Structure 1
Amino acid sequence: MSKDYKNALSCFATGVAVITTRHNNVDYGLTCSSFNSVSINPALVLWSLNHGSSTKAPIVESNGYTVSILAADQADLAMKFCLGDHEQRFEGVPVVRAPSGRAIIEGAIAWFDCELHESIPAGDHDIMLGHVQKYASKTGEGLVFERSRFGVVQHLVTS
């Protein structure tokens, strides 16, 4: 698709998350800006994964993933989980374990531990539909991505 198309899509601000899974005692992770809720009852979420991602097989084979919603001060982690191999991505990153054993990025403002409900082919990506098993959140500002830049939401006061 053209660069103009990608530029137009970048006008839509999104939150930033790190998706993790654990397969054969190895952690896998990547940065994601396509996370969304699908349903409240049942609790379903989705995100999109490139067909060629090295994280796809571990997620499918382990039947799940965890979504860590990054805090406003975690832009460095968003970049770290875009580069290098999976071992390098986790190097020096503090994590806690979800009940499933998957990594939750410490300092994240929310997390969702999901069973893989379905992987749906869609163009050059797969839609990873997950059934939320456990979750938590805390106060704080989330990291936002718009026009290829990180930022935070400016809260406007209206009368």
Structure 2
Amino acid sequence: MSASTPAPQPSTTDHADYRHALASFGTGVTVVTSRWKDQDWGMTCNSFSSVSLQPRLVLWSIRREASSYEAFTRSGGFTVSVLSHAQQALARQFATGSLEQRFAGVPVERLASDRVCLPGAAAWFDCELHQLVDAGDHTIVIGRVLDYASHETPALSFWRSRFDRFGS
């Protein structure tokens, strides 16, 4: 392309093409859980990221129209389980269905915070809510890490709408 030819502008309405371009970036896969109104809440999430080492902060984002939005933004905290490659079925289970279906048959470990993590995860991070940041149709949820653990197991990855693994 020459310097005089402007780059084509992407369509603002072609969401499928935009999602396809975003899928070029491989991510890890997590299940985020919370405890609100005496009930466990959980959802699959791949927007998890580290923010800061001092203080220990992590983030993830949630769509403002998600059925669990209020639970995650009003509960005071959340736990992120970084799924292992062997937990691909859990990624699918927590991505669809009702809240009861998401936890059906799933072993959980209750933490000191009363939130749950998923045994067998490559790592987990238990967090208190630090900050909420509005961003488009999502809210960025920032948490201060209270406790965590990690294990030497290959993590689940997601790239081009397919699961794979990180690690050997």
Is the TM value for this pair above 0.5?
Answer: yes
Greater alpha carbon shift after TM alignment, 2-11 vs 34-43: 2-11
Say if 1:154 and 1:42 are closer, same or farther in 2 by CA, change over 3 A: closer
Q: Percent identity?
A: 48
SS for the counterpart of 2:166 is coil
The CA deviation at 1:146 is 0.4
Aligned counterpart, 1:145: 158
RMSD between aligned residues: 1.1
The CA deviation at 1:25 is 1.3
**1:60 maps to amino acid:** T
Question: Which 4+ stretches in 1 moved above 3 angstroms?
Answer: none
Aligned counterpart, 2:82: 69
For the pair shown, which has the larger CA radius of gyration, 1 or 2?
2
Question: What is the CA–CA distance in structure 2 between the aligned matches of 1:54 and 1:118, rounded to whole Å?
Answer: 20
Aligned counterpart, 2:10: none
Match of 1:36 among 45, 49, 54: 49
The CA deviation at 1:60 is 2.1
Contact 2:73–2:141, Cα closer than 8 Å, also in 1: no
SS for the counterpart of 1:119 is strand
Question: What is the TM-score when the length of structure 2 is the normalising length?
Answer: 0.89
Question: What is the CA–CA distance in structure 1 between the aligned matches of 2:61 and 2:41, rounded to whole Å?
Answer: 16
Aligned counterpart, 2:143: 130
Question: What is the TM-score when the length of structure 1 is the normalising length?
Answer: 0.94
Contact 1:27–1:87, Cα closer than 8 Å, also in 2: no
Question: What are structure 1's unaligned runs of at least 5 residues?
Answer: none
Contact 1:20–1:102, Cα closer than 8 Å, also in 2: yes
Question: What are structure 2's unaligned runs of at least 5 residues?
Answer: 1-12
Aligned counterpart, 1:120: 133
- How many equivalent pairs are there? 155
SS for the counterpart of 2:85 is coil
